[in-house]
């Protein structure tokens, strides 16, 4: 998209009140142009064809069609970036899997402060989405090559730290689903609001061969388990005479986020050093890049997702450019690289 060009947005929501309020709130945004609104999936489909928006904002649940079903129909023929607007709903992850770029939590319309914060966050995500790479679901199931078996020698106290933002929910799934049940302890920071991180961890727990949970302060980092940072707390790695554990605490945003990938990576660099592995995935900005460099400088093996498979090649690009990445790879190859490195 050309510099200074306004992002042309179509608002889709079954609530006339919400559509009107959002259109009015974004009216004077110098980076966004609202080109239309729609109150149903059928109307949205028609207007997308007529208006060719740069980005669509859409409620997850609509009266005539579920958002997930609409996306499955839309993306193959009109791969337009979609930012979802959702209440605390597990369906958000199905919609992201179906091709949506990102989501924003629906605000409390009775609170003007909540609505103002929501509009600011949505505006940011609309701008990010306008340059995102929309992922189409494969026409046929992808046949994964068998991964090497994890050797018993790889069972030492090792830590795998993964950081991601826009597009990262599905990228992380793709890695974790390929890893074995006896994988060393994993820490995950995914930029996501409070509440959604618990649902995300629960979803991963159903999809993976090992246990996944939202991190609680003091949780032990164990083989065969992954911990996901809560949406409003920084997660750091600590160590005592019993082994590794995590601290989870509220704090100021670091690198623009809480939880922050940088905060986690820096603690892993300090606490685990050469016994750790860092993975930075798709996302806008630079959160995690400097922390990953600290990990590499402390002897950790580091991996960055490549440009071709990123929804947004931001965080991994900055990490690569500053020398933080030992190995850059497509998302489908990262699990194999992790296992091969653990076996050495």
Owning domain of residue 120: 7-129
**Cis-peptide, bond into residue 184, ω within 30° of zero:** no
141-150 pLDDT tens trace:
444 556 667 7
Whether 75 is in a domain gets the answer yes
Evaluate if residue 140 carries a pLDDT over 50: no
Q: Is the domain of 103 the same as that of 183?
A: no
Closest among 189, 205, 214 to 279, alpha carbons compared: 189
Q: Is the domain of 94 the same as that of 181?
A: no
How many domains does the chain contain in total?
2
Whether 138 is in a domain gets the answer no
Structure confidence at residue 154 (pLDDT): 56
- Of 68, 94, 129, the residue at which a domain comes to its end is 129
Whether 175 is in a domain gets the answer yes
Q: Is 162 helix (H, G, I), strand (E, B) or coil?
A: strand
- Of 75, 97, 129, the residue at which a domain comes to its end is 129
Beta bridge partners of 303: 279, 327
166-214 pLDDT tens trace:
999 999 999 999 999 999 999 999 999 999 999 999 999 999 999 999 9
Say which of 287, 290, 300, 306 is annotated catalytic: 287
CA distance 226 to 204: 9
CATH number at residue 254: 3.40.50.180
Query: Is 257 annotated in the active site?
Result: no
Query: Is 287 annotated in the active site?
Result: yes
Mean pLDDT of 266-290: 97
Closest among 112, 314, 340 to 327, alpha carbons compared: 340
Beta bridge partners of 85: 59, 104
Whether 117 is in a domain gets the answer yes
Structure confidence at residue 143 (pLDDT): 45
Q: Is the domain of 175 the same as that of 316?
A: yes
CATH number at residue 93: 3.40.50.2300
Whether 264 is in a domain gets the answer yes
Structure confidence at residue 139 (pLDDT): 47
Q: Is the domain of 329 the same as that of 190?
A: yes
Q: Is the domain of 169 the same as that of 267?
A: yes
Q: Is the domain of 72 the same as that of 113?
A: yes
Query: Is 165 annotated in the active site?
Result: yes
DSSP track, 17-54: HHHHHHHHHHTT-TTEEEEEEESSHHHHHHHHHHH--S
What is the band of 258 on the pLDDT scale with cuts at 50, 70, 90?
Answer: very high
Whether 136 is in a domain gets the answer no
Say which of 191, 219, 234, 257 is annotated catalytic: 191
Whether 141 is in a domain gets the answer no
Say which of 86, 165, 290, 300 is annotated catalytic: 165
Q: Is the domain of 19 the same as that of 102?
A: yes
Q: Is the domain of 162 the same as that of 247?
A: yes
Q: Is the domain of 14 the same as that of 158?
A: no
Structure confidence at residue 199 (pLDDT): 96
């Amino acid at each position: 998209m050309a510099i200074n060009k306004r992002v042309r947005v179509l608002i889709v929501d079954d609530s006339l009140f919400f559509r009107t309020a959002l259109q009015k709130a974004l009216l004077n945004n110098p980076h966004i142009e609202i080109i239309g609104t729609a109150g149903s999936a059928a109307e949205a489909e028609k207007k997308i064809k007529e208006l060719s928006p740069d980005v669509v904002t859409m409620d997850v649940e609509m009266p005539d069609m579920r958002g997930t079903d609409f996306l499955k129909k839309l993306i193959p023929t009109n791969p337009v970036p979609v930012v979802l607007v959702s209440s605390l709903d597990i369906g958000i992850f199905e919609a992201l899997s179906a091709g949506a770029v990102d989501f924003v939590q629906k605000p409390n319309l009775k609170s003007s402060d909540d609505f103002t914060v929501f509009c600011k966050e949505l505006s940011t995500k609309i701008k990010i989405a306008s340059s995102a790479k929309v992922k189409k679901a494969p026409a046929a199931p992808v046949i994964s090559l068998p991964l090497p078996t994890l050797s018993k020698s790889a069972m030492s106290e090792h830590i795998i730290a993964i950081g991601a933002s826009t597009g990262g929910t599905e990228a992380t799934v793709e890695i974790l689903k390929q890893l074995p049940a006896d994988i060393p302890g994993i820490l995950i920071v995914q930029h996501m609001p409070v509440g959604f991180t618990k649902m995300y961890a629960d979803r991963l727990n159903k999809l993976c061969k090992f246990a996944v949970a939202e991190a609680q302060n003091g949780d032990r980092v164990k083989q065969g388990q992954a911990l996901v940072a809560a949406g409003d707390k920084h997660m750091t790695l600590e160590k005592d005479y019993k082994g590794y554990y995590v601290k989870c605490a509220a704090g100021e945003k670091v690198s623009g986020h809480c939880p922050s990938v940088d905060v986690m990576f820096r603690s892993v660099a300090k606490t685990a050093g050469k016994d750790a592995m860092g993975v930075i995935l798709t996302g806008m900005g630079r959160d995690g890049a400097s922390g990953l460099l600290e990990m590499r400088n402390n002897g950790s093996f580091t991996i960055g997702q490549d440009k071709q498979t990123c929804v947004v090649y931001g965080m991994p690009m900055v990490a690569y450019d500053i020398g933080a990445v030992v190995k850059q790879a497509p998302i489908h190859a990262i699990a194999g690289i992790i296992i091969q490195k653990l076996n050495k």
